[in-house]
Each structure stands twice: as C-alpha cells, then as structure tokens.
Structure 1
Amino acid sequence: MREIGFDSKKYLVEQSRYILERVNQYDKLYLEFGGKLVDDKHAKRVLPGFQEDIKVKLLQKLKDQAEILICLYAGDIERNKIRGDYGITYDMDVLRLIDELRGYDLSVNSVVITRYNNQPATNAFINKLERRNIKVYKHEAIENYPLNVEKIVSNEGFGKNEYVKTEKPIVIVTAPGAGSGKLATCLNQLYHESKLGKNAGYSKFETFPVWNVPLKHPLNIAYEAATVDLGDVNMIDSFYLDHYGEMAVNYNRDVQTFPVIKRIIEKITDQESVYKSPTDMGVNQVKAGIVNDEIVQEASRQEIIRRYFQTECDFKKGLVDEEAVNRINLIMEEIDLKPEDRTVVTPAHAYAEKFETSAKGPAAVIALELPTKKIVTGRTTSLMEASASVILNAIKSLAKIDDDIHLLSPIILETIQNLKKNEMHMKDYSLDIREVLLALAISAVTNPTAQCAYEKLVELEGTQAHSTVMLSKNNEQSFRNLGIDITSAAVYPSEQLYHQ
C-alpha cells in the first residue's frame, strides 16, 4: 500500500474556506486556475494521497456560485501542441475537459480563443465548437502586452476584445496548459466589469510552487523540473518579504510581472490594489494538507527523476531544446540525484545487457516494481512487445501463477499476429499491451487462471516502470490508463525514421 503524505479531505476544507473568504470581498471574483483542473497527475505523484480530481470536488462544493471559462491560445492549435500526460493536442484536451466538467455537473460558460488572428486551424476548431453549441469568444493579441499599460487599459486594448457574459459570483478561468492567456482573459473581464460599474476582483489558484514551504524543498524543485520547457524558476517573492518581513516562494514570471499587473488592475479599478505581492494574489492552501513531509520529499525526488527521463526523450523527439536538457541536468545535480536512484532503471538495463543489439535495434526491456517491491521484467520478442510482456509477468507474479503456465493460448496470439501481418499488412506485428489485454479479457471468461490474473490488473496502479527504449504512443497511453508511471531511456527502438 502506498504511503500517504497528504490529506485530501483536510486540504479540501481549508482550500474552499479560503476561496470563499476571497469571494466575499467582491461582487464577482475571476479565479485563474493554474495547473490541471481535472486529473492533476503531477500533484498526485508528488503529494501521495492527493486525489487527482480534488480540484473538481472543490468546484462541486462551490458549483452553485461558480461557472467556468476555458482559454486556449490560437498558436497552440496551429502547432498541434501536445499535452504530455494524455498524448493529445491542446484543442482535443479542451473537448475532453468540457466533457469531464459536464460529467461533474459543472457549468462551462464558454471557450475563449486568445491571441486570435484568423488562423486557419483555429477557425476550423471554432467551427467545431460552435456547431456543438459551445459559445466561443475571440481575443486578439494586444501589442506590447503587458508593458503598454495605457494602451492595454483602453478602447484599443481590452476594449476591442469581446466581453464574456457571466452570471455567477465566481468565474473559474482555466486552460489545458501554461501560456494559454488565462491572466489576460481575467484582466480583460475586470476591464469590462469596471465599465459596467461592478466591483470585480482577481485571484490566482496555482498549486505549485507552494508559497509557504522552503524554496529548495524537493516539492518546489519538482515544479521547476516539470516546467523546464517553460523556463520557470522558483524564487523568493521580494515584494512579500519587503512588506511582511517573511519568506514566500513564487516563480520568476509572477514576480517579474507583478508591478505591471498591479498597475493594470489599479488603472482598471481606479484605486490602489489590495495586493502587496504576487503571493497575495494566490489562494493556495496545499501546505495545510501535508501530513508527512518526508514522504512528500521522497515522492518529489522521484518525480524529478521521471521528469529528467521525459525531458531527455522529448529532446530526442525534437519537442524541447537543449536549454531544457541543461536545466533538468542542473536540477538533478542541485538535489544530488542520479537516474539510477529510480529503482527500476538499473534492473531494466542490466537485463537488456544480456541480449545482443539486433539489426533492428537495441534490446527492448521494461522493468516494473510491484507493490510487493519485487521487480519483474519483460522484453520484446517476435511474439509480443516488452510492454505487453512485462504486464503479463507482473499480474502472474501478483496472482502467484507459475512462470511456466500460459495465461493465453499460443493459437489465439498467433491468430491475432497473423491478422496484423497478413490481412492488415502491418510491418510491425508483435503484440502490444492493448491487444494482449483484450486477449486476456476474452480468455478470462472461460479460463479461471486467466481470470485470476486479470483481476490483478487493478493492483498495478501507482507502480513504477522503466523501459530501455522509447515507447510507441499506444503503449505509453496504455501504461497511463493502467496508472503505471513509466519512464524511458532516450533511445529509439530501431533505426527506422518513422516510429509510431
């Protein structure tokens, strides 16, 4: 059983209370939600015990008072930006997010397309939304934002962008990821609310960095590791220190832009801002939920190593630049971590060394640590991929099924393989996770041994695994669906340029 370092129930009580205190200061509060609103897997990994849907549960407590705006930067649509933990584009993640929120009976007001400039792919996406009866607002980029305060707070700035009509006292502004224009949307709304004579306010709900834990705490460093592609750096909030005489942690973009954001808010409201620092803008109460700091620290260290492997792979795929790789290496050195500090790394590579690299590519091996701490391995063969092999070996071990016993009939597996090879004309016909698990599910109907193993799949959630080669998108997604945290060495499985 996974050790718990975070009390989600306690956090939910404290966080909702704090937000309501902030809401009571205004007629309407625009609350910028940073991080993932639904399925915050990073928080779940670094805060063992954190429920990945806790933010949605928070909104459910406030649902009679809240509605949601979803922001999406047009440039992210045009370049098909991918959300890493789901392997889907940002525009598709907006559709997924709307479905998720509706499933929780939460009110989605509309989608705001930011920095819109009549881009072709963006227009196609807008059409798709509108034909599904989802309201869409288009906000153009404002030249020299956020520095040109006079122009921004004028009819030529926020004034030319559409006002999003809202009805409830809390407006949650969220997005698939960073850089989506959430802050600009909030400020745009404050401008229009002020023109209508309403007392509207702005606050920020960022889970990380955690403002009231130390700057060099692994929890905050793990946030830096998660954002190496953005260049975010944690720092002491000098404004908070100067005004209150106490330390608070924030990140560079918030600290650097605070003076100009403060000026924009003051110009909009025509009064002095109540915020003395960027930390004051936040409503983060994560620390209230931490019940075992040692567990959180170790979980955060492991997340940093996972991010190291992810960044190395992303660089190999051309998704990040060399600066991101240099930054993650510096973070690893700063906290004195090595890739081998991830327990599944050494067993995977040690097992791979027993097999010669073939003409098709290096030996593909995956090691997986079971909840019992036992490590099982699987390798790619002509029959099945390492991903499928390690899953079968894992559930056989958990079910205490002897290695010599076949869970699946060789005839069934060969039939599937022949289908891929002969009828579907696929070049790679080794079986992947999905194909093997479908065969297992069917076999479980008539085979009690297969049924016993099948029932153990649920116990793989939260386990750790490592691959000696990069995985296909299908297998990556299958590991995510099973709740397995897997890393990969930055090595392609073959010399072929086209790798699914």
Structure 2
Amino acid sequence: MKIGFDNEKYLKMQSEHIRDRISKFDNKLYLEFGGKLFDDYHASRVLPGFAPDSKLRLLKELSDQAEIVIVISAKDIEKNKIRGDLGITYDTDVLRLIQTYRDQGLYVGSVTITQFSGQESALLFKNRLENLDIPVYLHYIIPGYPSNVPLIISEEGYGKNDYIETSRPLVIVTAPGPGSGKMATCLSQLYHEHKRGIHAGYAKFETFPVWNLPLKHPVNLAYEAATADLNDVNMIDPYHLEAYGETTVNYNRDVEIFPVLNTIFEKIYGESPYKSPTDMGVNMAGKCICDDEVCREASRQEIIRRYYAALNALVKGDSSDKEAQKIELLMNMAGITIADRKVAVEAQKRAKETGGPAAALELEDGTIVTGKTTNLLGASAALLLNVLKLLAGIDHEVHIISPNSIEPIQKLKVDYLKSKNPRLHTDEVLIALSASAAENPQARLALSQLPKLEGCQAHTSVMLSDVDIKIFKKLGVQLTSEAVFEHILLS
C-alpha cells in the first residue's frame, strides 16, 4: 500500500504533453485512447498512487478543448459482444459511456459505427442513437485492410467513409473494447481533413507498455500478463532504435502495423510526422514513478493474481491452457512463484490444518488473518468477521452476530429458497452484521471498519461463488483463489 506513483505530477505532465502535440498540427489532433478512460484499476494496482479515474480527470482538465467520438464495430453489435468486466453488450456500453461522460461535463460529439456492411442490427442501433439526438456516422469494410494502401487512400477506401463532423481541437477516439476500429477511424479522419485543407494530426494514448521502462520491468511484464488472452507481446521498438539510437518499448501490434501507418501518413501528408511507433505515443506515466521498487513489487503481485485468474478460467472452461502457460513464463522472467503471495501460502496452510476450505487476508500492516469453514459460515464470511473484529479491537471469541440471528437466515435459504448450502455467504453475513448494528455497538464498530479493507490482499483455498467474488471486489480487496472446486457443490 506504499505509494510508488506521483498522480498529480502525472496529470500536469500529461495534459501539457497533449496540448503540445495539438500545437504541432493545424490545431486538430485525433487522439486514440486505449484502455479504460475511467476505473483503470490495473494501472492503480501496478502503479500504486495512480488514481483509477486519472484519465477522466485528465480529460476534464482538457474539457474546453476536447470532444469525444465513441467507436463501435458493426460486427460486435451483430454478435452481441459482451464486456467481460461488466457483463453488458458493447452497444449497451456505448449508451452507458455517453451518459457517464456527459455526467462528468465532457462533450460527446458523435458515435461512429465501423466495419459496416449493411448489418440490420447496426442500422437499428443507429436509429436508436439518432432518436436520442446523437449524431451517428458509418465507416465501411475496406477489402485488403490494412495492407492494400492504394485502395485505402482512395475515394473507394477512406473516401467512402462518412466524414465525422467535429468542432474542437482535440478529438478523443475511444471504444467499449479492443478491435472496435479506433485507429482506422482516426486515419480516415486525417484523409478527409486533408481533402479539406486541414493538416490534422494523430497520436496514441496507451498507458501500457510503459515505453521508457525496460522491456522486462515488472510493470511491463504485468501488462503482458493482463493481455495474455490477446497474445500481446512487449518488444523493443526497432524503428525508434534505428532513428534515435534509443531503446524504447512498444507492443507487437503497433510495431507490426507501423510500416503500413507510415505509408498511409506519407500518402496523406506527403511525409510522415513520425519515425517510430513510440513517436506516436503521448504517455508520460513512466516519468511519474517516484518509487521504482514499490511499483516493481506491486507488479509482481499483479502477475501472480493474473496467473490465478487464468487457472480459474481454465478449470471453469472459459479459456485454454495457453493463457496460463504464457503467464507462467512471465512469472519465470520476473523471478517469482505463487509462494511469493503470502496470503496464498497462509490460506493453503489453514485449509490443510482444518481439512476444509479456508481463506486469508493481509492487512495494511502485514498482519495476516485467516478464516475457516464452520457450520454457520463459509470460509470467506468467517474471514470477514475475523478481520473486522481484529480491526475494531473486539475479542475473537465475542459474537458480533448472534448465532440465533443466523439460524433464521439459514432456514430461509434451505427451507424456503431451496438452497443446498446453509452456510452464509459474504453478502449475507454483512447484511446480518448490519441488522445487528442497530442494537449492538460492537457490531456497529466492526461494520465501520469495512473501508480499511480497500487494497488488502486475500486468497481462498477454493474457488468462490460469483456473489462472494463481487463482494470482495466492491470492498476493494484484491482476491485470488486456488483453481479448485469445492468437493460439494454449494449454491
């Protein structure tokens, strides 16, 4: 929980750098925004001190100059593609993003539907947006994209796309997820702006990999772990090394596409403004690390967490073994094993001692608290109560929830709701604790300790239900679990 990143310095440097990039063109910059614009919890985990809403705060600082264009692929609309972290379709997320940005005082100019080839579902979504007075533009599939440059830079390529009407110097191009067509949208706009006599610019804002950190720095390895399912690979930018004699880090897709991008820039501008993929970026995160070792250790822990998540997905049948194997290689590069996650070691030790599922949580001061499965409580629920009692200074033997109040809840679950598992989940134990807090001062004191769990590490010896996982996530606890189903299927 130590700070390794100077967030205020970052906001200042980043906004200045973007303004400087705008000035290098005809006061018009299309900025491809990768990753999440808000709730960037990966960045906050590997760069302790990075605020999850840093990008949003950055945009608010530039709000007088910026407008947002949201891009969504017609193919993703047609197949009802789901955002894994939110469980909603991409088209629903577009509506959510529009409202979120507007609530923050940001101007959303329009939505662009890319890879359009007449999909009925895309047309229905277009009509829905237009009924909400949101301008919508269509960009079409270009055969041979991105290698067929003569076709791309023609009236039958980018020229066929709608020209997106924008009114501000900085145009943020963002999307619900990867593969939506953000870069193609930016480049199409450069083509159309050039036809109108405007020398617009393009830049890319990706927090990771951090270009001015070493290739095998744990922060960059953690990015590879986070994108193991996409098969992204960090690599030295050969174009930057050749042009400047400086070693920088980029990732394979940007390096592979750069020759094509360079040709497109040359066809539009007459010459390319960039000599390397690194040149295109505007990310200042690497210059704002104030404690390198803190960020290294945070990133090592993130890699281990990603490894456990991959193993869980494999056991559930949600991924192949390639993802876990890749992260295992990254762990070897970082010189770490699962034994470097202290809560995992303690949870497994407690499970072995008790012969049943167990859980462990590490507090800010390094104290590790464990919980075991009982007749009344699941291991995670027991862990929460044990932690809250310790933080509140309440003796471990004191009941802050009366067993008599737990029994009616169990009766409700088993007799009326037909659950096979009588033990209380984490959400149920917190509700019971809240009910007890109305009359029990100690329960009230224990409940007030919940904010102290944010940022804590936890591990369970078996995989948890979705309910328990969501509770830990809402509390800000960074949870991992062994890739093991409980012997008895508990509902």
1:421 aligns with 2:420: no
Where does 1:315-464 land on structure 2 (aligned, <5 Å)? 315-356=314-355, 363-464=356-457
User: What secondary structure sits across from 1:114 in the alignment?
Assistant: strand
Asked if 2 retains the 8 angstrom alpha-carbon contact of 1:87 and 1:477, the reply is no
Mean CA deviation greater in 161-170 or 256-265 = 161-170
Question: What's 2:262 paired with?
Answer: 262
Q: Distance in 2 between matches of 1:91 and 1:433?
A: 33
* 1:125 to partner: Cα distance: 5.4
Question: What's 1:189 paired with?
Answer: 189
Where does 1:213-224 land on structure 2 (aligned, <5 Å)? 213-224=213-224
Deviations 1:409-455 (A, max 9, x none): 33333333333333333444533222222232233232211111111
Q: Distance in 1 between matches of 2:252 and 2:92?
A: 30
Question: What's 1:112 paired with?
Answer: 112
Q: Distance in 1 between matches of 2:438 and 2:260?
A: 64
* 1:385 to partner: Cα distance: 3.0
* 1:187 to partner: Cα distance: 1.3
Q: Distance in 2 between matches of 1:124 and 1:312?
A: 39
C-alpha spacing 1:441/1:96, structure 2 compared with 1 (3 Å): farther
Mean CA deviation greater in 156-165 or 325-334 = 156-165
C-alpha spacing 1:348/1:113, structure 2 compared with 1 (3 Å): farther
Gaps of at least 5 residues in structure 2 are: none
Question: What's 2:287 paired with?
Answer: 288
Question: What's 2:5 paired with?
Answer: 6
Question: What's 1:298 paired with?
Answer: 297
C-alpha spacing 1:98/1:227, structure 2 compared with 1 (3 Å): same
Where does 1:78-117 land on structure 2 (aligned, <5 Å)? 81-86=81-86, 88-117=88-117
Deviations 1:265-314 (A, max 9, x none): 22233x10110000000001112211111111111111111111111122
Q: Distance in 2 between matches of 1:136 and 1:472?
A: 41
* 1:258 to partner: Cα distance: 0.2
Asked if 2 retains the 8 angstrom alpha-carbon contact of 1:86 and 1:477, the reply is no
Paired residue type of 1:291: C
Mean CA deviation greater in 278-287 or 124-133 = 124-133
Paired residue type of 1:5: G
Q: Distance in 1 between matches of 2:332 and 2:297?
A: 16
* 1:80 to partner: Cα distance: 5.4
C-alpha spacing 1:51/1:420, structure 2 compared with 1 (3 Å): same
C-alpha spacing 1:394/1:76, structure 2 compared with 1 (3 Å): farther
Asked if 2 retains the 8 angstrom alpha-carbon contact of 1:31 and 1:172, the reply is yes
User: What secondary structure sits across from 2:342 in the alignment?
Assistant: coil
Q: Distance in 1 between matches of 2:189 and 2:230?
A: 26
C-alpha spacing 1:380/1:73, structure 2 compared with 1 (3 Å): farther
Mean CA deviation greater in 23-32 or 88-97 = 88-97
1:152 aligns with 2:152: yes
Q: Distance in 1 between matches of 2:107 and 2:487?
A: 47
* 1:243 to partner: Cα distance: 0.7
Asked if 1 retains the 8 angstrom alpha-carbon contact of 2:216 and 2:333, the reply is no
Question: What's 2:485 paired with?
Answer: 492
Q: Distance in 1 between matches of 2:95 and 2:402?
A: 40
User: What secondary structure sits across from 1:320 in the alignment?
Assistant: coil
Percent of pairs with identical residues: 53
Paired residue type of 2:56: V
Question: What's 2:66 paired with?
Answer: 66
Asked if 2 retains the 8 angstrom alpha-carbon contact of 1:71 and 1:173, the reply is yes
User: What secondary structure sits across from 2:228 in the alignment?
Assistant: coil
User: What secondary structure sits across from 1:106 in the alignment?
Assistant: coil
Deviations 1:142-169 (A, max 9, x none): 2221111112222322233333222111
Paired residue type of 2:14: Q
Q: 1:474 aligns with which of 434, 442, 467?
A: 467
Deviations 1:446-465 (A, max 9, x none): 22111111111000000001
C-alpha spacing 1:265/1:398, structure 2 compared with 1 (3 Å): same
Paired residue type of 2:209: P
Paired residue type of 1:236: I
User: What secondary structure sits across from 2:235 in the alignment?
Assistant: strand
- Normalized against structure 1, the TM-score is what? 0.91
Q: Distance in 2 between matches of 1:120 and 1:465?
A: 46
Q: Distance in 1 between matches of 2:416 and 2:7?
A: 51
Q: Distance in 2 between matches of 1:439 and 1:128?
A: 44
Asked if 2 retains the 8 angstrom alpha-carbon contact of 1:18 and 1:283, the reply is yes
User: What secondary structure sits across from 1:458 in the alignment?
Assistant: helix
Paired residue type of 2:245: G
Question: What's 2:250 paired with?
Answer: 250
Asked if 2 retains the 8 angstrom alpha-carbon contact of 1:48 and 1:295, the reply is yes
The number of residues matched between the two structures is 490
Deviations 1:32-52 (A, max 9, x none): 111211011111011111111
Q: Distance in 2 between matches of 1:112 and 1:322?
A: 36
Paired residue type of 1:407: I
User: What secondary structure sits across from 1:442 in the alignment?
Assistant: helix
Paired residue type of 1:216: K
Paired residue type of 2:381: A
* 1:494 to partner: Cα distance: 4.8
User: What secondary structure sits across from 1:109 in the alignment?
Assistant: strand
Question: What's 2:51 paired with?
Answer: 51
Q: Distance in 2 between matches of 1:132 and 1:471?
A: 41
Mean CA deviation greater in 102-111 or 246-255 = 102-111
C-alpha spacing 1:197/1:412, structure 2 compared with 1 (3 Å): farther
Deviations 1:83-106 (A, max 9, x none): 455455544444443333223211
Asked if 2 retains the 8 angstrom alpha-carbon contact of 1:347 and 1:367, the reply is yes
- Normalized against structure 2, the TM-score is what? 0.93
* 1:214 to partner: Cα distance: 1.1
Gaps of at least 5 residues in structure 1 are: 357-362
* 1:141 to partner: Cα distance: 2.8
Paired residue type of 1:224: E
Mean CA deviation greater in 413-422 or 145-154 = 413-422
User: What secondary structure sits across from 1:172 in the alignment?
Assistant: strand
